[in-house]
Structure formats: C-alpha cells, structure tokens
Structure 1
Amino acid sequence: MFAKVRRLPLLTAIAVTTLALGGCNGFGFGGATTPEAQLQDDSNGADWPGYGRTYGQQHYSPLHEVDQTTVHSLGLAWSMDLPLGNSATQPIAVRGVLYFATGLSVVHAVDAVSGKELWVYDPEVGKVAGLNLRTGWGVRGVAWWQGKVYVGTQDGRLIAIDAKTGKLAWSQQTYDPNMAAYISGAPRVLGGRVLIGYGGSNGVSRGYITAYDAVSGKQLWRFYTVPGDPSKGFENKAMEMAARTWSGEWWKYGGGGDVWNSIAYDPASDTVYFGVGSPYPWNHKLRSQGKGDNLFIDSIVAVDGKTGTYKWHYQTVPGDTWDFDATMDIELADLKIDGKHRKVLMQAPKNGFLYVIDRETGKLISAEPYVPVTWASKIDLATGRPVEMPGARYDQGKGVSLSPSPLAAHNWLPMAFSPKSGLVYIPAADFKVTFSEPSPSWKPATDRNTDAGANMIGGPLIGEKPPTGALIAWNPVTQKQAWRVDHPTYLNGGVLATAGDVVFQGTIDGTFKAYSARDGEQLWSFDTRAPMIAPPITYEAGGKQYVTVLTGLGMAYPKNLGALGGPGIERWGLDPRTQARRVLTFVIGGKGTLPPRPVAPPPPEDKTFKVEQARFLPGATAFNVHCGDCHGSMAVGSTQAPDLRRSPIPQDRASFVQIVRGGIEPAGMPKFPELDDGKLDDIRYYIRAQAAQLRGQAAAAPNRSAPSLIIK
C-alpha cells in the first residue's frame, strides 16, 4: 500500500549484480565475510552498510587504495541526476550496490560500478503525510541488514524493502500520524534490531526511541525520554526518576526530548547509546517553572539492547533553555588516556563542547570547547555540569547574545574519528544569536507551526562578525585543536576519514575536497557544480575503492540558510529549481565530467506591484511562521521548495490562493486552509516585495543588513 516500485528487466539486474559481486576481493572481502560482519568496527571496509559504516558510528573506513599519494588521481567515475527534492542524504553500499533515499524517502538501488539504476521504491509519502508535510523534509540515510534496506518516512513509517527486488517486506507506523512529527534520521540496525526515533519537539511531543525486530518488524521495546503525566503512572523506574527533575505541568506540552539522529551500539556489552534532543518549549520557565534538570533532555542515554532497560545517562545541558540538542552523532572508540585504555564515546553536540565519556559507566572524562562558547565558562569535571555564565538564561526581561546558537556549533552533519590519526574531524560553525523571552501571551505551537517559547534573532547584527564555518581536527585525548581549515560559509558537509590518511568533506560553495588527516593540507578538490552538505562514503566494488557523495541541499537547515544572506545564496547558486542534485562517484583514474553550473532565472517582471510598507512586516512574520521552513528565510529559496521570488504565481491572486489553501500534496506542498484572506494577502505581498528587491527595487523592502533569522 502507498508504494510504487520501478525495476530494470530481471536479466539486466542479475547481470549487473553478478559483475559487482565478482570483483569483491580487492581488500580481502571473500565469500566467508558477511555484510553483517562489516558492521563490526574492525571490519575490512569493503561495504558501508550503515549510516556511520559500523556499530561505533565513526564514519571511518580502513580502505587505503586512495591515500595521500594517489588521491590526486581521483576522478569522476559516473554521476546520476536526481529530481527536485531533498538530496542531503548519505548512501550505503553493500556488495557493489548503492542504496540511498531522496525526496520524500524514495529509495534507489544503483550498481556502484556503472551507475546503472536497479530499482526505485516510492512510499508515496506526499499522499498520506497530510499536515506533517509542514514539519519535515525527507530522510538523511538508510540502513541494511540481511537482504533488507530500511528507511523512515515523514508520516512516521519505518519501512523494510527487499534489497534484491525493491518490494516491500514490512512497514510499521512508529507514532500516531496525528502527531506533529516526522522521521529525518537514518534507521540503525544494531544486533538484529532496527532502532528509530523521530523529530518534532518544536511542537507538542513526548520523545521516544523504538526497537523493532529487523526480520519481522515486530516491536521489541520503547524507551521514553521524558516522563508523562504522573497521575497516569510511569512506564519504568527511569521515568519515575526523571519525573523528580521536572516541575509544573510539563506533560501538557509533551516535554520534547526527541531522538531524531544519533544512535550507536557496543555489541560486546549489548548496549545501545542514543542522543536526546532539546525540550519543548525551549524556555525553561514556561515548561518547568524554571526548576529542575528535566531528564532526559539533552542527554546521552545508555540502555540494554535486548530490553531497552535504562543503564545510565549523561546530561550535557541540565534544564536547557537554548535548544542545545545532544542528538549529534555519537562515536565509540578505544583511547589511551592517562596511561590507561578506556572504552569511550565522543560527542560534539550543539552547545560547543567536545565530550569524552566512559561508555561503560557514563562518567565524564573530559569536555572542552571546540568553538567560541559564551553561555558557559567550562564543564565542571567533578560534577559533570556546565558552569553557566551569569545572565545566560535571558530570564530577567533582557536579551542576551550567546555563542553558539541553536543552529549549532555542530549539527547533524556527522563528524568522523580516525583510529589511525587519533583525531576527531568536526564540521563546525561559529554563530552568535540574541535570545529574549516571548510575549506574555505565548501559547504552545499548533498546526505544525513553530513557537519555541523564546525569541531568537540571528545573523550578523551591527558590529558583529558574520557566521563562520570550519573543518576542525581535534585531539580527544589532549582536548586540543590539531588543525583547522576555514570555509567561506558556516554551513558545510559531513565528514569521512580513511586509513589512507585522507579526510573528505563537501562545502556549500560546490567543492568536494580531500585533506591530509595529519595536518589539514588540501590534497585534492573537485568542482561539483552544486552545494554539498551530505556526508560522503567509501567502499570497495569490482576490486577498486570508490568514493560517493550526493550534491544538493535538503531541508537540513530550513530557515538559517538565510544567515548566509541573500547575496550569499545567489553567489553559491542555491536556487532550488536549478540546483544540481546528483549522485557523484569517484575512483582513481576516473575521467567523467559535469555540465556547467546552472544559472538561476531572474524574477519575472511585476508591473502591478505597488510598495505598501505597512504590509511588509505582517507579511514577513506570516511567511516566516507558515512558509519559511520550506521556502527559505526572507523568501530566499535555497533548499527543496521553489524560490517564490522567481515564480510568477504570487502575481496571480487566484492561483496563489488555490495552491496555498489546497496544496499539492503528492509533490510535497501541504494545505493551509486555516489562512484567512488578510494573511494570505500579506504573505503574497511579502513575496512580491522580496522579488522586487531582487530586481533592484530597494525601496520595496528593508535592506539586507537587518537580522537574517527570527524564530519565536
């Protein structure tokens, strides 16, 4: 149900797959080695079967054909164009076949050597997601286990697909479809169990993570991350303990705490580790009367893999009030610290500190800032708690400017750890914002429209430096920076590290680069003609090492791309209609080429537009609340939804009203029937005003020096 499968003729698919399997011996991948074994951290790296490659989620490969002496010969083997929609997603590779999801969780199987598509599975999310088309943007990855590919959807399904045929194996609805929620993270298959959470804590929700049997789809266990209504009892002792850290009637808001990204696994102890998101609402005073640590928000939680029983937790930001999720990737490693071998986990969450934690006990080993941090002076190693700066909680009726921002010192874009170099490679950002309390009339979010319970103004204010980005190599033992490469934009791609002592990363400016893992020297680059934020992977097929990355943006950063500023977005060619979304696969000696970078079309003439400044601010506010997540901050389209400034539709009121109120759901455009005529006209005016400014009519709207991001 709700699915379409398109396949190649059977003989063609068999021939292509046989070719790929025949060469799987270049790095010791023989018949005795199973793809399941490739999930072990010490596997040979022929496959990349999971999001972080292995259970430890290091985003590291032991392959070394591509090294510092050969990387300069890396060239394009093949490319595949993709349709409009999310392409900020990481592929996986198993026995010479690539699997990846684009758009609204449409899964593709492609021969890794030739680029030949084998099958496509479309779960037809647009037909069933309804209001949840307003809340998400597609997934960032898929998983593999024993002949099945797993993917999550925006309407909350976890789907298992037969990897050979592309047909549905099973499907589970993981949350109530009426919830304001979505799945954006990649499923993780850990010890025969598929684990998935969901996102949506900018609206009423109570977070949890669920384990399903990978073969049958049967639910095995569920762990809630925040307590529910105490009058209804608690699911377990962990929730009873957590409830003592909350105050007021938090359950009426849900509490938040979504598990939308990071999950890792230690098979030796059968322990699952997952990162928990921020609370809802953000403002500590609103949700919990300003009291308590509010477990398990912003925490790393360890549970038993078989039962989901609580083992331990570490909370990075007790009583969070800044949206400092702890959902960035968790990476497991064995490190020698103070002369002792320690089994650790590492995380660089939103809040700007790099944490090294004993993964057996949950005890903090060390934590230091890897970017400028002004909300806390340090992490107290005795208590494990941050030492907050005076006034950082913006609860005295005054605004406060802080670094990093809720847009993160490090967001979902994965870092990588190289056991060979001993360094962590972080796609980091330095971005300051100003917080203030909401109006006294604040109410919880409704109809999937964000209201976080805090006012936040971002982007370069007068006298402040603009946001910056960097690839930072960090020594987790000494907690010091080893090297740093600065980028022209603060938003940049996920990272891959290899045993060839090479680190790969794509950037918004459209350059795929390879650096020396030791000192950051740039060794190689390729003009992809498109922005990149997806993490690359590497694998073996046909006796050769390949590197694959997807270009193009998704809704990974829905509003804060505006922090680049309109001119910046135009500079990097981020127009959604013309942006090149492709699968790019590289191999030593590759000779492929790409067409020139496309040019965004100019906005159409609008001879009937008249400046009405009184309508600009109401239009900007309504656009930000209802449209900005998909169509971009300040109406500067940059991700998957069209740049409305370049569309003729806003000029025709009847067409505009029909599309906004009626939606085009199969294509991902939700309905907004609740918008009255006045609000629709304000939004329409705002779009036309922004188009006029793009044409050079500066009087049509405030100038670009105004703050580029406002979230309430």
Structure 2
Amino acid sequence: MLVTQYVQRIMIICSAGCVLFALCSCSPDSAQTDGGRATGRPDPIDWPGYGGSSGEQHFSPASEISQNTVGRLGLLWSYDLDIENSVSQPLAINGMLYVTTGRSRITAFRAVSGNVVWQFDPDVTETAGRKLRSSWGSRGIAYREGRLYTATVDGNLICMDAESGQQLWSVPTVDPASGLYVTGAPRIMDEMVIIGNGGADVSDARGYVTAYDGNTGEQLWRFYTVPGNPADGFENDALELAAKTWNGEWWRYGGGGTVWNAITYDDKYKTVYLGVGNGAPWNHEIRSEGEGDNLFLASIVALDADTGAYKWHYQVNPGETWDYNASMDIALATLTIGGETRDVLLQAPKNGFVYVIDRVNGDFISARPFVKTTWASKIDPESGRPVEDPAARFPDGGSFDLFPGTFGAHSWMPMAFSPQTGLVYIPTSFIGSRISSGDVKADDWARYPGFGSDGGMSAAPIWDETNPSRSALTAWNPVDQELAWQVPTTGVTGGGVMATAGGLVFQGEINGTFNAYDASSGDRVWSFDAQAPILAPPIAFAAGGRDYIAIQTGSSTGAAALGTFFEDISIDYRNMARRVLVFALDGDASLPARKPLPLVAIEDPDFDAGSRPLLAGAIAYGRRCAHCHGLEGVAAGSAPDLRASYTILNDETFTVIVREGALVRNGMPQFEELADETLLDMRHYLRFEASQMRQ
C-alpha cells in the first residue's frame, strides 16, 4: 500500500563501521606449522587494533586452529553484555581481552579464564543529547603502549590505562551543538591517535578527521574532507582545488564527506588513508546543482600521517548521489600484478566494485564488479572513472532500479584479506533500490529538522529476482579481478570477516550461526549456534601457548531496520543474547538454552484506521524511528517491536517516553521537538501496523 511504500523509500539510508606493525608471519612462506601448532611464531599473538595488526587486513597469523584441527573447536567461555548494540570488534593484548558495547562501555577480561578485571562506563546517555539518536554506538577501540582509546557517540576521545581502566584524559572531537557524532573506532599512527565522525545523513555536516597526541590528547592536526564557504578562505591548497568541483552554495548543507569508519595507517609510507563518506544531502542536484565531482566525497584520500598534508586521492564515485560512500574498510597488500610487485590498497565499497589502487601515488590499477551493477557498466581502465548509465541519475524525474541499492553491496561489516590465498573475503548484499527524486525540488528543499533521515530523494528496497540469495560471503581474487568462490548467507548481509594463517575464514550470520570456511575452496568446515545475530567481525589471538577466537553477538541498527525482510529468523530485542564468546580447541562450555518469547500484536479493539490520515505518521516514524525499530514496525533486535508494545495505546505514556525522554538511560533518545499532533500521527501509524500484524 501507499504508506508502506513511502516508509520503505525514505528509510533505506540505514546503510547509512590500527596499529599496523609488520608481522613476518603474515607472509605465506613464514606461516609454518607442525601438527597444527605454529613454529617460530611470536607468543602472544595480539589483536591490537580494529583491523588486527596487518594493514587492516583482518588477518591473524595464529594457526593452531587450522583446517586439520577446527573440528575440535569449542566454546571456552561466554559473558553476557549490556542490552545495547553489540557489533564492535574486541581487542586482545598480552592475555587480556577488551570488549566494548554500543555506548562505549568497556569490559576487560582475562582472555583465558573470562574473569572480569575492570569495567569502564563513560555514561554517554547523560551527555549525548540528540547525538544519541545516531543509535549505532561504538564499533571498536584502539590500543597503544599500555593505553586504550575509545570514542563516544557525543564525540569525546577518551584515553585510559589498559591495566586498571582508569581514565587518563578526554578531549572533545566535535562541536556539541553540531550534528556530528562518532561511532567508528580510533586508529593508531605511531604516537598519534586519529578519529573521524559521522552525521551526514541526518544533519548539515562537514566531515573531517583529527589527529591527537596519544600521550596527552593535544590536537596535532585536522583535515577537512570537503571545502567550506569560500568567503571564509580555505584551510589548505587541496580544499581550494576541491572547491572548483562544487557548484551553488553547497556549504549551506555542510557538504558531507564524514569519515565514520575507514581509516588505515601505512607505517611503511607514513601515510594514512581515509575512506570518505557520502554527500549531505545525497541528491547531487540539491547539493551541487547537479554539477561537479564534489571532491573529496566518496573518495580514498591519502594524507601525510605526521602533518595531515594532502598527498593524493582517488574518487570511486564522482558526483556521488546514491549514498555510495567509500567508507568501507581499506586493506593494505603487496601483490604481483603484470609481473611487477606493487604495494596496493584494496577496497570493496558500497557501489559493487572491487578496487585495486597503488598506495604510493594513488594510481588506478583495476576495478571489477563483484555484484550486479546497473548504475555503471564498468570503470574505465584509462581514466579510472565509472561509465555510468545516465538514467541512474533520474534526469527526467522518473525512477531507476539501482543495483546495488543504497544499502550497498558491501556495508560497514569489514572484509578480510589473506596473504596466504591472496583473496579478499567480502560480506556481500544483493539488495537493490528503486530510486527517484520523488516530489523533491532542489530550489525549495530544506533538511528535515532534528536528526531526521533525509537524503533529498527516495529509495525503496527491491530484489534481483534472478538471484535466489539475498546475501553471500564472496571470495575474490584482486589480481585477476575474478570470483574465486561464493557461499550464500542469511538475511540482507552477513557479519564481518576474519581470515587466519590456519587457512580459515570466519564469519557470523544474522541467523545466529558462526561459521568457519576453507579459505581456498569456501567449504564450510565448522559451525556453532550462537543463538543470536552476528554482525560484528571476529578476532583470533594467542595467549599462554594456545590460540583463541572471539566474537560478539547481537544485532544493530542498519541491518536491524530491515527486519521486515527476514521475519522468519525471529530476532527479538527482549531475549536476544548480547554476548562475547571465546573459543579454543577442545573447549567444552555451552550456552544456556534460548527461551523463545511469542511476539504478539497488542489488542486494540478501539482502533479506527480511518480516524486519522496514515501518511503523516508513516513519514514521521520512518524518519525518526525506523532506523532502530524497523521498517513497517518490524523490529529485528536493535530496539523493541512497537507493534507488541502497550505504550502505543496510551497518549500520555507515549509522550513521556518519546518527547520527555523517560527511557534515555536505556538508550531510547528524546525527541523534545515533536508536537502533539506528530506524536498522535506516529502512534496512530503504529497502531495500524499492529492491526496488520494481527490479521
């Protein structure tokens, strides 16, 4: 019906996630094993940063758990975490395991025993205000020389002692009054810490990254990713050059370009690579009068790590207009291409292509699609620019079936690269979008206020009917730019990926299975029922002469917002396990039995669907609530399913929670700006969806 289609169109923006010391054991020749035990390896083997310890490869040299021994892999211990988003990557250092959850709460464990050593809570629900509406929370933390670093959703970078959990310092990285917030993991660059921010989907954001002294928190440099108002001057020559690729008064919208996820430090070249996000708003016609490449949106930008000075850039989507950001993780590798050994970076961004870029000078090497791509036929090998289908920009005001959709062929869940096999392993989504400018007119567009989702266009999810899968784990050869193997996964996307020197690839699924695959063939060689969705990437580490695998379970916003597309999996906020699981060979622990809870729509005999218009409530719910509570009210773990909540039956209760913030301490944001009429519209729409559920 019309209401359902409208909500789907406006809410697909939910797509709108380290220490790089060279380890000789990362090379294929040095990963020698003896009966499943690594020989000559460093012990312990740590996982000190978001992407591991090997150029954001999400690869571990730990090899005791191998194709020969993985059949003995079992659960060693588990621990129930806070009831909030649980999608971050743990760290493992010197026999300690550090785990963070959605609101940057950190728990330190003895990795072998699972004993809690300390816990840290920055209490962001007290300080975040509207930034709490971002809903993502923390994706990870960083470690350097006895210190841990975390960033909170309200933009504070916090340093603490790794042994005691005591806070050493905290610095604000964003203006509290701005729409910027932080969900990504900090990264380490020698003695510096670098952090970006998010917010381009919901505010007039202008993105940047900032480097701080890791010892003192002193700001060392800042690099903006898009130019500001020319009347104010430009921070550097690179932004003055970039401004020539923008049109109109783009600065009124902020421009976007937030670096909310991908940051990779290259110790060899003392360079940091940024994966830059989408524009604000998405619609190129509104943002830049439909003209110009809009640098440095949707680009990989290389900076001098010591000074923050611009080195080079490569733009994956000039004039980006589909939320095809370049915020997906960037892995470093050394490949033999055309008989020449080259230091490269690898990225599989949302637009569906795998890119190989020379990391010394930014030269384009190759790119091929790993999914169906209707927006472009190819990337021109000479210019490195996409060969677009003009209809994808809906020039005549019609619609276009966009593949991949705005959710992306690859979202924030990290891929992995194995130096052993030379393959990248990509969590892949096949969802598309039917896009159009709708009734939006560039001349009179104004952003929906108060962190409301608004890209200046519409996008409704669609599927490729010729493809029986909705997602897959894709193994790709970046040298030949060819598919090596692919296995289907459940839901709209699988979880983050890790490869190991044991010849294995690990990935969790939305249906709660945690799997290990033969890295060369894709054969599934091990599986564990984790009893909860897994979107977070796993890690591998060694301590006390033994290898371990760790993973966090639990859903998150984004994928959870699309619960209407995998209702059969039955993900429920009320009993979804948010845990850290640690595995080892011959582990024999077990999880408590999951107790299913029936999801029953509220009884509402007095509801009259015709008593109020539905569309206003659908729009208000879609822009404010669906990101967590799900399209059409079908939740998938990130927040309660409101169709089964008695709060929607009572105007006073609904108002106290939504407008007055009665549940802020539980992570439910406050929407103080909503008028009585809007609250009535939202409640009426939710009562309607509950009535549909009862049928």
Specify if TM > 0.5: yes
What is the number of residues matched between the two proteins?
655
Contact kept, 8 Å, 1:144 with 1:150, in 2: the verdict is: yes
Deviation, structure 1 residue 555: 2.1
Instruction: Give the equivalent residue in structure 2 for 1:710.
Output: none
Q: 1:456 matched to which residue of 2?
A: 459
Contact 1:152–1:187 under 8 Å retained in 2 = yes
Where does 1:606-685 land on structure 2 (aligned, <5 Å)?
A: 606-613=603-610, 615-663=613-661, 664-685=663-684
For 1:481-500, list aligned pairs within 5 A.
481-500=483-502
Please state whether the residue corresponding to 1:657 is helix, strand or coil: helix
Structure 1 residue runs of 5 or longer lacking an equivalent are 1-35, 698-712
Deviation, structure 1 residue 42:
3.3
Tell me, in whole angstroms, the C-alpha distance in 1 between the residues paired with 2:262 and 2:141. Answer: 13
**Offset of residue 689 of structure 1:** 2.3
Aligned to 2:101: 102
* Cα distance between partner residues in 2 of 1:120 and 1:601: 34
Taking a change above 3 Å as real, the CA distance of residues 460 and 360 of structure 1, as seen in their structure-2 partners, is closer
Confirm whether residue 577 of structure 1 aligns to residue 559 of structure 2. no
TM-score using structure 1 length: 0.90
SS of 1:492's partner is coil
Which secondary structure state, in structure 1, belongs to the residue aligned with residue 622 of structure 2? helix
Quick check: 681-690 or 183-192, which moved more?
A: 681-690
Tell me the CA shift for residue 111 of structure 1: 1.1
SS of the residue 2:231 aligns to: helix
* Distance (Å, rounded) in 2 between the aligned partners of 1:575 and 1:561: 10
The aligned counterpart of 2:424 is: 424
Gaps in structure 2 of 5+ consecutive residues: 1-17, 26-41
Assess, with a 3 A threshold, how the Cα gap between structure 1 residues 381 and 496 changes in structure 2: closer, same or farther: same
Check if 1:475 corresponds to 2:477. yes
Work out the CA distance in 1 between the residues paired with 2:531 and 2:323.
Answer: 34
Q: Which amino acid aligns with 1:457?
A: A
> 1:275 maps to what in 2?
275
The structural deviation recorded for 1:135 is: 2.0
Question: What's the secondary structure of 1:559's corresponding residue?
Answer: helix
> Using the alignment, how far apart are the partners of 1:459 and 1:610 within structure 2?
31
By how many angstroms is 1:673 displaced?
Answer: 2.3
SS in 1 for 2:392: coil
**Does 2:190 align with 1:208?**
no
* Match in the other structure for 1:39: 21
- The structure whose RCO (Cα within 8 Å, separation 6+) is larger is 2
Residue 132 and residue 558 in structure 1: after superposition, are their counterparts in 2 closer, same or farther (change >3 A)? Answer: farther
Aligned to 1:444: 447
> Counterpart of 2:138?
139
Question: 2:82 is paired with a residue of what secondary structure?
Answer: coil
Residue-by-residue CA offset, 1:137-184 (whole Å, 9 max, x unaligned): 211111111111111111011111111111111111001011112211
**Contact persistence 1:427–1:493 (CA under 8 A):** yes
How far apart are residue 466 of structure 1 and its match? 7.4
Does structure 1 conserve the Cα–Cα contact (< 8 Å) formed by 2:504 and 2:517?
yes
Query: Partner amino acid for 2:400?
Result: V
What whole-Å deviation, never above 9, does each CA across 1:190-248 have from its counterpart, x for those lacking one? 21111100111012010001111111111111010000000111000001110011011
Equivalent AA in structure 1 for residue 123 of structure 2: E
- The verdict on how the C-alpha distance between 1:515 and 1:657 changes in structure 2, with shifts beyond 3 A counting, is same
Look up the equivalent residue of 2:475 and give its one-letter code: A
State which of 546, 559, 583 in structure 2 corresponds to 1:557.
559
Aligned residues of 1:507 and 1:533 also touching (Cα < 8 A): yes
Equivalent position of 1:32 in the other structure: none
User: 1:9 is matched with which residue?
Assistant: none
Distance 2:298 2:654 in 1: 41
Looking at structure 1, the residues matched to 59 and 147 of structure 2 have their Cα atoms a distance apart, in angstroms, of 23
Distance 1:395 1:107 in 2: 49
Match status 1:380 vs 2:406? no
- Matches of 1:604 and 1:340, distance apart in 2: 63
- Checking the alignment, whether the CA contact within 8 Å between 1:55 and 1:266 is kept in structure 2 is no
- Three-state SS of the structure 1 residue aligned to 2:98 is strand
CA distance in 2, matches of 1:372, 1:459: 13
Over 3 Å counting, the alpha-carbon distance change for 1:179 and 1:37 in structure 2 is closer
Cα distance in 2 for residues equivalent to 1:164 and 1:111: 11
Q: Quick one: which amino acid aligns to residue 623 of structure 1?
A: Y
- Would the aligned equivalents of 1:205 and 1:253 in 2 still touch at CA under 8 Å? yes
Does residue 239 of the first structure (1) align with residue 242 of the second (2)?
Answer: no
Under a length normalisation based on structure 2, what TM-score does the superposition of the two structures give?
A: 0.92
- 2:24 and 2:238 map into 1 onto residues whose CA distance is 33
1:237-386 alignment, distance < 5 Å: 237-386=237-386
Give the stretch that moved more between structures: 133-142 or 223-232. 133-142
* Alpha-carbon offset, residue 376 of structure 1: 0.3
SS at match of 1:98: strand
Specify the code of the residue in structure 1 equivalent to 2:168.
A
CA distance in 2, matches of 1:467, 1:54: 33
- Counterpart CA distance in 2 for 1:243 and 1:264 is 25
Tell whether the 8 Å contact from 1:601 to 1:646 is kept in structure 2 after alignment.
no
* Alignment partners' CA distance in 2, 1:189 and 1:555: 27
Give the whole-Å Cα distance in 2 for the aligned partners of 1:286 and 1:605: 42
Distance 1:140-1:358 versus aligned 2 partners, 3 A rule: same
CA displacement at 1:659 relative to structure 2: 1.1
**What letter corresponds to residue 693 of structure 1 in structure 2?**
Q
Letter of the 1:508 partner, please give it: I
Q: Secondary structure at the match of 2:613?
A: helix
**Contact map agreement 2:434 2:462 (CA 8 A) in 1:** no
Q: 1:411-438 CA deviation, whole Å, 9 max, x = no partner?
A: 1100000000111101011111111114
Distance in 2 (CA, whole Å) between partners of 1:575 and 1:258 is: 32
Deviation at 1:558, TM superposition (A): 5.3
User: Equivalent residue for 1:16?
Assistant: none
Q: Is the 8 A contact 1:138 1:555 kept in 2?
A: no
Shift, 1:688, TM fit: 2.1
Q: Secondary structure at the match of 1:615?
A: coil
Partner of 1:531: 533
2:523 matched residue in structure 1: 521
Counterpart of 1:223 in structure 2 is 223
Instruction: Give 1:603's aligned residue.
Output: 600
Deviation at 1:656, TM superposition (A): 1.2
Check 1:313–1:596 CA distance in 2 against 1; reply closer, same or farther (3 A cut). same
Report the Cα distance in structure 2 between the residues aligned to 1:148 and 1:556, rounded to whole angstroms.
31
What is the distance in 2 between the residues matched to 1:436 and 1:223?
33
Q: Deviations over 1:67-120 (max 9, x none)?
A: 001001000000001121010111010011111211311111111111111111
Which amino acid letter does the alignment assign opposite residue 661 of structure 1? Answer: R
1:460, distance to aligned residue in structure 2 (A): 4.3
- SS of residue paired to 1:523: strand
**Cα deviations by residue, 1:472-528 (Å, 9 ceiling, x for unpaired):** 110000000000101232211000101110000000111000000010011000011
Correspondence for 2:120? 121
Structure 2: how far apart are the matches of 1:167 and 1:261?
26
- Contact (CA 8 Å) 2:276, 2:301: kept in 1 or not? yes
Determine if contact 1:204/1:255 at 8 Å carries over to the other structure: yes
Matched, 1:590 2:587: yes
Q: Matched residues in 2 for 1:37 and 1:637: separation? A: 36
**Distance in 1 (alpha carbons) for counterparts of 2:364 and 2:684:** 53
Cα distance in 1, alignment partners of residues 140 and 199 from structure 2? 18
Aligned partners of 2:574, 2:269: CA distance in 1, in Å?
48
